[in-house]
Chain A
Amino acid sequence: MSSNLKKIKDTAEPGRRSFLSKLWLGLGLVVFAESIGVVFAFLRPRKPRTSEGGFGSIITAGPVGDFEPNSVTAIVRGHFYLACLEDGGFLALSRKCTHLGCTVPWDSKNNQFTCPCHASVFDIKGNVISPPAPRALDIYPVTIENEIIKVDTRKPIRRSEFRPEQVMYAKRI
């Protein structure tokens, strides 16, 4: 009788024991996963602080009349170039090369952007003339109110190539 009881105990206990140890193991894994989640959330990039009128805010580039057609002006505080196309339309081009992120200088002699890092070449509209850059320069939305050009540098717009609807025109009176 007593040996029989022991037998039942022996078979019953391992089940309970293994269940409990699995439970502990599971809890341990949950703790581990939570900690990983906390670490990643902690390290998540914060929104960079932007000063009014600096990169990451809405920047006033100037009155329409200040820009000659077929010219490119660097707006240094906004990290972009304001391109005035031949027909008087405006494009705000990011200065970041789409290949690996170098800053592209405007070469006014040849009327093109030439990246110093891997020799990508872009035209005044930001289109790729020569690879390795895979797509046209990013643009920022341009608005023109009362003949004053404003550029929203909060988020660049990725594009594969130039299209006419990206250009902003001042209303002719």
Chain B
Amino acid sequence: MTYNLNGFFSRIRHSIIRGPVYPQTEQECKRIITDSLILHFRPRTVPEPALKFSLTWGLGGMALVLVMLLALTGILLKFVYVPLPGKAYESILVLQNEVWFGQLIRNIHHWCANLLVIVVFLHMLRVFFTGAFHSPRRFNWIIGLFLLFFVLISNFTGYLLPWDQLAFWAITICTGMVEYIPGVGTWLQKMLRSGPEIGPAALLMFYTFHTAILPVCLLICMAFHFWRVRKAGGVIIPASLDDQSDTKPGYVPTIPNLVLRELTVALVLVAFILVFSILFDAPLESPANPGMSPNPAKAPWYFMGIQELLMHFHPVFAVLIIPVLVTGTLILLPYLTYQSNRRTGGVWFFSRKGRRMGIVAAITALVITPPAIITDEYFMNFTASIPGLPTLISNGFFPAAIILAGITGFHRLIKRKYNASTNETIQTLFILLLVSFIILTVTGIWFRGPGMALTWPWNPELSSS
């Protein structure tokens, strides 16, 4: 009888865990390792140089941890949140004041979402600057761009849900930008807002996108992204410095070498998020009032670069032509012709020359962009100085042409001065535009006050509004 019962339980156990639970022999140890679920996702062994932290900064793993935290906290929030204009704000108040740990869960969700944008962006920069977007990783760069897009749209749709003044007007402005797309703008805006103005239908649609459609899109793209990393042979590793020796790097078992490192990064990140969320509450302003725009009304911070472009260019250029050009360039980046026959993947900034050129580009952008913003703000009025032309030409085409001419001139100059390869030149131009974009974003976030006039971040007017 006892024997039979033992057999019954062991049958159940073996149906769940295939190998022995407590390995006795070395053979059994190996079997457990090769059978384990972790090794379904990870290779059995990894090249030792791939473990180096400064190669990837663990940014991809961090993004994954943040997405998991977002999913967990997001599901909890769904138990309390009500996607109706009259009730949404109230349910946030209930969440914060009556639900145990409600404020903390909301804070974690909020800060994870914001950090995810930064981490994903830095991850993209890491991949670019270590040259990890060439074959066989070309298409994975594209999948990565899709992931960036989905992360931004997830953030954007989530922004409206608290239904406070901040949310309502940020989404009004951003959907207002859509109207300037020639041809389909008005129709697209109506679709996005589910009507002429942001109301109950828009909130419900944003909620559905945020909590159902976009998470699924993210999940599918993530699985694809990770699979392609595996197929490319893992993360990019710098070729051995002397070109002659073609020695293969030493391999070490994934468990524990890689898994422990990943766990450490994940735990430090979770701890950081937790402390940050305890110290800083997610913002919540007064309930949305469609009759009164706050001053200043700003887009979410990650779209502030585009809002800053709107201050200087005709909307068709600011919200359509420039973003489309930039996105198109990012998509084409891995498919351009690069002349290097040297194996340079995994080396930060390509070469010493690439690094030097990058510094020159960064300094150029830092020196030129702020004065350009100030000049256009106070001293230059394209519409008034070129009368008789439509603003699309005078305040769109002309400034864009000037900037394009500047970039072309810079390109010529740097190419001649450094006798650089395509890889180095493209990287230099990328840095020039990247730093300019960051300056535009920073200007929009901290240097724009009431009426969107330029101001200092420590100006008391800004904090009182």
State the CA gap A105–B451 with chains docked (Å): 12
| Known contacts A46-B201, A134-B315; A114 and B451 CB within 8 A of each other | yes
State the CA gap A103–B176 with chains docked (Å): 12
| Known contacts A45-B194, A102-B169, A117-B173; A131 and B391 CB within 8 A of each other | yes
Closest beta carbon of chain B to A127's beta carbon, Å: 15
Are B311's CB and A118's CB within 8 A?
Answer: yes
When distances are taken between beta carbons in the complex, the residues of chain B under 8 Å from A132 are: 310-311, 315
Does B327 make an interface contact (CB < 8 A)? no
Of B136-144, B263-271, B287-295, B361-369, the one with at least 4 CB within 8 A of chain A: B287-295
| Known contacts A117-B297, A118-B452, A132-B311; A103 and B195 CB within 8 A of each other | no
Closest beta carbon of chain A to B168's beta carbon, Å: 10
| Known contacts A99-B176, A132-B310; A116 and B296 CB within 8 A of each other | yes
Does B220 make an interface contact (CB < 8 A)? no
Across the two chains, which residue of chain B brings its CB closest to A96?
B197
Does B172 make an interface contact (CB < 8 A)? yes
State the CA gap A131–B383 with chains docked (Å): 9
Interface of A is mostly: loop
Are A45's CB and B173's CB within 8 A?
Answer: no
Across the two chains, which residue of chain A brings its CB closest to B453?
A119
Does A115 make an interface contact (CB < 8 A)? yes
Does A173 make an interface contact (CB < 8 A)? no
When distances are taken between beta carbons in the complex, the residues of chain B under 8 Å from A114 are: 451
Closest beta carbon of chain B to A157's beta carbon, Å: 13
Closest beta carbon of chain B to A134's beta carbon, Å: 7
State the CA gap A76–B290 with chains docked (Å): 10
Does B161 make an interface contact (CB < 8 A)? no
Does B43 make an interface contact (CB < 8 A)? no
What mask results when residues 114 to 129 of chain A are scored 1 for a CB within 8 Å of chain B, else 0?
1111110000000000
Closest beta carbon of chain B to A98's beta carbon, Å: 9
Are B195's CB and A119's CB within 8 A?
Answer: no
Closest beta carbon of chain B to A6's beta carbon, Å: 43
Interface size of B as a range: 35 or more
When distances are taken between beta carbons in the complex, the residues of chain A under 8 Å from B314 are: 134
When distances are taken between beta carbons in the complex, the residues of chain B under 8 Å from A79 are: 290-291
What mask results when residues 158 to 177 of chain B are scored 1 for a CB within 8 Å of chain A, else 0?
00000000000100110111
In-complex Cβ contact of A102 among B172, B191, B205, B450 (8 A): B172
Are A116's CB and B315's CB within 8 A?
Answer: no
When distances are taken between beta carbons in the complex, the residues of chain A under 8 Å from B452 are: 117-119
In-complex Cβ contact of B195 among A46, A101, A102, A104 (8 A): A46
State the CA gap A24–B46 with chains docked (Å): 46
Does B7 make an interface contact (CB < 8 A)? no
Across the two chains, which residue of chain A brings its CB closest to B198?
A101
Are A134's CB and B176's CB within 8 A?
Answer: no
When distances are taken between beta carbons in the complex, the residues of chain B under 8 Å from A134 are: 314-315, 391
Across the two chains, which residue of chain A brings its CB closest to B190?
A45
When distances are taken between beta carbons in the complex, the residues of chain B under 8 Å from A48 are: 195-196, 199, 201
When distances are taken between beta carbons in the complex, the residues of chain A under 8 Å from B453 are: 119
When distances are taken between beta carbons in the complex, the residues of chain A under 8 Å from B169 are: 102, 117
State the CA gap A168–B19 with chains docked (Å): 87
When distances are taken between beta carbons in the complex, the residues of chain B under 8 Å from A119 are: 451-453
Residues of chain A at the chain B interface (Cβ within 8 Å): 43-46, 48, 76, 79, 95, 99-105, 114-119, 131-132, 134
Given A79-B291, A118-B310, output 18 extra A-B contacts at Cβ < 8 Å: A43-B205, A44-B191, A46-B194, A48-B201, A76-B291, A99-B315, A100-B172, A101-B179, A102-B172, A102-B176, A102-B293, A103-B291, A114-B451, A115-B293, A116-B293, A116-B294, A117-B297, A119-B453
Q: List 5 A-B contacts (CB under 8 A).
A: A48-B201, A95-B291, A103-B292, A103-B293, A131-B383
